[in-house]
């Protein structure tokens, strides 16, 4: 298992846990992919927070 932090600048807001079916660490390409997924998750979380804090109701 690998854990990649979800970061907003210097603040960690969570982590993305990746379960791996092989021994050893992630390769460079895999690490880039996992970081892209973590970045996307961070954006989603921040967007949800902004909507919730703005008081805009969802239909």
DSSP string, 1-59: -EEEEEEETTEEEEEEEE--SSSS---HHHHHHHHHHHHHHHHHHHHHHHHHHHTPPP-
Q: Which is nearest to 46 in space by CA: 7, 3, 4?
A: 7
Residue 27 lies in a domain: yes
Residue 10 lies in a domain: yes
Query: Is pLDDT at 59 greater than 70 in this prediction?
Result: no
Parent domain of 42: 2-54
Residue 33 lies in a domain: yes
Please state the domain count of the chain. Answer: 1
Query: Is pLDDT at 57 greater than 70 in this prediction?
Result: no
What's the pLDDT band for 25 if we cut at 50, 70, 90?
confident
**Other beta carbons less than 10 A from residue 6's beta carbon:** 20
Token pair for 32: 């880039």
Residue 59 lies in a domain: no
Residue 44 lies in a domain: yes
């Amino acid at each position: 298992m690998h854990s990649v932090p979800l970061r907003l600048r210097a603040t960690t807001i969570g982590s993305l846990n990746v379960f791996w079916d092989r021994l050893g660490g992630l390769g460079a390409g895999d690490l880039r992919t996992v970081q892209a997924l973590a970045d996307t998750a961070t954006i989603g979380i921040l967007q949800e927070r902004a909507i919730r804090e703005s008081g805009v109701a969802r239909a």
